[in-house]
Amino acid sequence: MSVTPPEPGLIDDPELGLPGPTATWHPGEAGLDEPTLINDDRVED
Amino acid sequence: MSNPHEAVHLDGTEINWLHPPKVTRLVRWSKKTWTGKRVSGSFRHICHLNRLNNLSLRRFGRELEIIQPAWNIGVKASAGTHDMDSVVDLYVPGIDWWEQQRFFRANGLGCWYRHPPSFGNHIHGFTLPPVEGVVRSDDFAMAGFRVGVFVPQQLADYYAHAYGLAGSGHTPGADPSWFPRRIEDTIFDLDQYVARRAAKVLAARKH
């Protein structure tokens, strides 16, 4: 996946590197789905 | 379901859920950033983060980690994004980055997974404002939320499936990763969130 280099001011604190893999998006991700539960009263909190 | 954190007033006092603050009122979260700094924002933004945190616990068994909160004034590298409301850099430790991007997008956080070489790994996002009219870029302002100068364009880019970055990062459809079928359907409903808590307060009074 190519990402356009950010312009100054759009860098979200690039010095804060986090531990973890550098994942690469792959087309298989497009077939996945995710439920929207943000307003679902059945999911209590 | 455990609810380890909650929105509180800036002085730490509890929210009166029967008489909640205005949606734009500055409050803070009982949870802090990963470096122990305060997380402040509008009442709506902080309640959204808390709901996301509870959903993350349910979905992944882990809480969010806030890297950079809203109203983080004085960070030159983030000028224009984090210097006012609604914007956050965060992640869920140990969870695949694309999976957590899907989770956040499905639940009302307009966001992108930012990664090397341009960025350190993190999720950059904002609490989606209510939809008003046909132009998305002014939705924050229409709802009364003050955001950084680049954020309205990032909101429009999110709805257009663009990257929210400079140059070709604004190209509609350029981001091939997962987006909700109808982004509007993922917007956090603060009234509903408050009503759930108010109902619990009233139920507790009866007992």
Shortest CB distance from A36 goes to which of B78, B113, B180? B180
Contacts of A37 in chain B (CB under 8 A): 55, 106-107
DSSP label at B130? P
Structure confidence at residue B118 (pLDDT): 77
Structure confidence at residue A27 (pLDDT): 56
Shortest CB distance from A14 goes to which of B97, B119, B165? B119
Which runs of consecutive H residues, i.e. helices, occur in chain A? none
Residue listed under structure tokens 């943000």: A38
- If phi over 0 gives left and psi between -120 and 50 gives alpha, with beta otherwise, what is residue B8? beta
- Evaluate the CA torsion angle B153, B122, B184, B192 in order and state its sign: negative
Contacts of B74 in chain A (CB under 8 A): none
Neighbours of B93 (CB within 10 A): 14
Structure confidence at residue A20 (pLDDT): 43
Taking 70 as the pLDDT cut, the residues of chain B under it are: 1-2, 77-79
Tens digit of each residue's pLDDT (9 = 90 or more) over A2-45: 344 334 334 444 344 444 444 555 655 666 789 999 999 888 87
Closest CA to B121 of B67, B197, B194: B67
Neighbours of B161 (CB within 10 A): 16
Structure confidence at residue B59 (pLDDT): 94
Reported pTM: 0.89
